[in-house]
Amino acid sequence: MRRRVRLSAVAAVTAAVGGVVPAALPASAASGGTIKVVYQVQGGDPALTNLVKTAAAEFAKQYPGWTVNLSPITSPAENDYYTKLDLMNQSSSTAPDVMYEDTFLVNSDVAAGYLAPLNQYLSKWSGWKSFSPAAQAAGKGANGDIYGVSMGTDTRGLIYNKQILAKAGIPVPWHPKTWADVIKAAAAIKAKEPGVYPINVYGGTGEGEGSTMQGFEMFLYGTNNWLFDSKTAKWEKAGAGFQAALTQYQTIYAKQNLGVPVQTALGSQTWQVVQQSYLPAGKLGIDLDGSWVPGTWLPTGPKPWPTWTKTLGITAMPTQNGQGPGHVSMSGGWLMSVGSKSKNKQMAFNYITIALNMKNSLYYDINASQIAARTDVANAPSYKAQGYGAATFSSFVPFTHFRPAFAAYPKLSTEIQLITGQVMTGQKTPAQAVAEYNQYLVQTVGAKNVENAPA
């Protein structure tokens, strides 16, 4: 899940790094033709649009006779994009040649027959060696084949208003050691700053995967429980850690009224309200969110805020009781993939090599606030010069976690979104939500693929 927000002129791509664009692989057909590129458009998110447009122009210049049909899907809610892309992929007449693909959907989309393996193309692309091992594995399916090229990744942590915390009696810089420290700070803000929302934690179905990843999993992975046990290759039944994570939602929203208004929290554009209104206006004390958020406040972003680093701090999310490794983060990321129904797979891949060469990747990773997938981008002076936000969120990589990229995960994620919303509104207790999830889990993956969670 991501919310990318940084505006920059297309011309900035060319200015980012000097030099000639490396040649892509030879064309598979000399006669020319058209490839269709499908990608997502969200409010205040122009970096991806600029990237695909720039790559399209470079592709047409490099391959005379070939054109790119850019087919954006406008979808303020993340799940809407997934749904529309899924519908397009079901017919050869509408399926894309190149698609913007969320890493957590790789295996489910492979199972559905939507993605083409890229191994034969990657082995001949000199640029592939510039991607880090983790970035290369981001598009790997359960069968070992690669189904996409990484555009970058992200991390998650706590963004807080230094002035609000100080007024509430919380020492800054703030580095909470346990969940209790986070709740204590939120409660202090409520008591001493009545005009401020103490904390935002995403939940419910409106924010889609953001609720699961920015919210619930940031708690769950700070306990002794997991969604999937890689050692046994089985899904974990929800246990004490799962219930503890849900209890935080109950505490924040249903019991202590520490969160943003529930009607806002359950909406599909909560992220925009939080990033473009509440935080800049000093109406929110703590936000559990992602590394892309500071891009909102750049001079070219949707909500310029030149002094944000003086007002806001960033710190790591603690584990439940401070147990090792002490902190937790989640990482995801997006890919460019080739559609299985494409009649021009070689040319589709050639487009990807242009879009994600060093120059264009550097543009995108800076302007979309990404943690770089390419090592040459990560070492570029302009990438290193991004400052406090990028450096701090990058420091969370050593203790980050990735979602289980299996076909069942998207279904389980949707169930988690549903039950977090029910707990937030008081419709269900954490214990009732755990029981509902476990029943759904067994129905979805089969009892033989489920193990009991550790105590």
Q: Buried b / exposed e across 260-273, counting CB within 10 Å, b at 16+?
A: bebebbbbbebbbb
Q: What percent of the chain has pLDDT over 90?
A: 82
Do 349 and 338 touch, CB atoms closer than 8 A? Answer: yes
2: how many CB neighbours lie within 10 A of its CB?
28
Average pLDDT score over residue span 447-452: 96
Quote the DSSP letter at residue 254.
Answer: I
Collapsing DSSP to helix, strand or coil, 337 comes out as strand
Q: What band does 10 get if pLDDT is binned at 50, 70 and 90?
A: very low
Q: Supply the pTM of this predicted model.
A: 0.84
Among 125, 157, 153, residue whose Cα is nearest residue 327:
157
- Does the pLDDT value for residue 8 go beyond 70? no
Check residue 381 and give its pLDDT: 95
Looking up tokens 């359950």 gives 266
Do 416 and 202 touch, CB atoms closer than 8 A? Answer: no
Q: What is the DSSP string of 290-315?
A: ETTGGGGGSTTSSS--TTHHHHEEEE
Check residue 24 and give its pLDDT: 44
Q: What band does 400 get if pLDDT is binned at 50, 70 and 90?
A: very high
Residue 118 has φ and ψ, to the nearest 5°, of -110, 5
Do 204 and 264 touch, CB atoms closer than 8 A? Answer: no
pLDDT tens-digit map of 326-372: 999 999 999 999 999 999 999 999 999 999 999 999 999 988 889 99
> How many Å apart are CA 286 and CA 338, to the nearest integer?
39
Check residue 30 and give its pLDDT: 59
Q: What band does 44 get if pLDDT is binned at 50, 70 and 90?
A: low
- Does the pLDDT value for residue 23 go beyond 50? no
Mean pLDDT for the chain overall: 91
pLDDT tens-digit map of 160-209: 999 999 999 999 999 999 999 999 999 999 999 999 999 999 999 999 99
CA 324 to chain centre: 24
Average pLDDT score over residue span 421-434: 98
Name the CATH superfamily for 11-154+332-386.
Periplasmic binding protein-like II (3.40.190.10)
Residue 90 has φ and ψ, to the nearest 5°, of -80, -15
Collapsing DSSP to helix, strand or coil, 66 comes out as strand
Q: Buried b / exposed e across 70-109, counting CB within 10 Å, b at 16+?
A: ebebebbbbbbbbeebeebbeeeeebbbbbbbbbbbbbbb
333: how many CB neighbours lie within 10 A of its CB?
23
pLDDT tens-digit map of 136-146: 999 999 899 99
Do 363 and 179 touch, CB atoms closer than 8 A? Answer: no
The two structure tokens encoding residue 400: 């980050």
Name the CATH superfamily for 156-330+404-451.
Periplasmic binding protein-like II (3.40.190.10)
Do 250 and 429 touch, CB atoms closer than 8 A? Answer: yes
- Does the pLDDT value for residue 5 go beyond 50? no
Collapsing DSSP to helix, strand or coil, 280 comes out as coil
Among 281, 280, 273, residue whose Cα is nearest residue 294:
280
pLDDT tens-digit map of 215-250: 999 999 999 899 999 889 999 999 999 999 999 999
Report domain extents, the chain. Answer: 11-154+332-386, 156-330+404-451
Residue 146 has φ and ψ, to the nearest 5°, of -100, 130
Are 11-154+332-386 and 156-330+404-451 in the same CATH fold? yes
Tally the C-alpha atoms within 13 A of residue 53's C-alpha that lie toward its C-beta: 15
Check residue 301 and give its pLDDT: 77
> How many Å apart are CA 284 and CA 297, to the nearest integer?
16
Check residue 207 and give its pLDDT: 93
> How many Å apart are CA 76 and CA 41, to the nearest integer?
8
Q: What is the largest CA-CA distance in the chain?
A: 70
- H or E segment to which residue 183 belongs: helix 179-192
Do 351 and 59 touch, CB atoms closer than 8 A? Answer: yes
Check residue 2 and give its pLDDT: 43
Among 288, 369, 309, 291, residue whose Cα is nearest residue 173:
309
